[in-house]
Amino acid sequence: MQPIPHPSPNFGERRDGLRPELVVLHYTAMEDVPSALERLCCPEFEVSAHYLIARDGTLYQLVEEDKRAWHAGGGDWRGRGDVNSRSIGVELDNLGDQPFSQPLMQTLERLLPGILSRWGIPPEGVIGHSDMAPRRKSDPGRRFDWARLARRGLGVWPEPREAAPNEAEFLQAAETFGYDSSWGIDAVLDAFRQRFRPWAHGRLEARDMGEMLDLAGRFPIDPAPPSA
């Protein structure tokens, strides 16, 4: 699949010899693709991504994969910061409050296998912006179909389980899976639910507890960070 080149000046070199070990998914939160491309390619805004997928399935490449696009901002995942240097950023043409189109999802499902293969990224390395920065970001949002990606081996999904709710144990399991427990129970629970239980609300429930324990048990942090 050949993307349409649309180069952005908003990039740099990956720092400290870091390589991509994550794919971070975003929504554009803009009315249309021309508006998103203008923003992602404007030096004034200092923001970009490696790829943008339009609602009709058109794929644009803004930054080469070996370069550091400016898409993630502050945050961390699996105990490591500078997510921009460790990731590929993919923007999805969506306002955040609507289902993602079939052509868009189909293009994403064609794009991701190549990225994961080229950089040796496992399915658990495909995350949302909200996973790494839950206090300030909510994309790709509650409408994004994470279960669909997981069924295709392009993401992960918990087995349906329940366990007695315990906030301390939930945060410990969340950190084992990748979340920063210092964000606190409210932020971590909301980030987890945005992705895995998008319509759940209220206090920690048995389903939240069981599914976080499942994710932590099957996809724990590798104690040895990838070498440069």
Q: Residue 117: which residues within 8 A CB-CB, separation 6 or more?
A: none
Catalytic residue among 13, 38, 64, 91: 91
Catalytic (active site) residue 162: no
Report DSSP state, residue 14: P
The span from the CA of 107 to the CA of 93, in Å, is 12
Sequence-ordered list of residues with C-beta below 8 angstroms from that of 45, at least 6 positions apart, any chain = 10, 39
DSSP string over 207-224: HHHHHHHHHHHHSPPPSS
Query: How many CB atoms sit inside 10 A of residue 121's CB?
Result: 20
DSSP strand pairing (11-13 vs 67-69):
antiparallel
Q: What angle do CA 226, 91, 116 make, to 5 degrees?
A: 35
For 64-80, the three-class secondary structure string (H helix, E strand, C coil) is CCCEEECCCCCCCECCE
Beta bridge partners of 127: 24
- Distance, CA of 127 to CA of 124 (rounded, Å): 7
Q: Which of the residues are catalytic?
A: 91
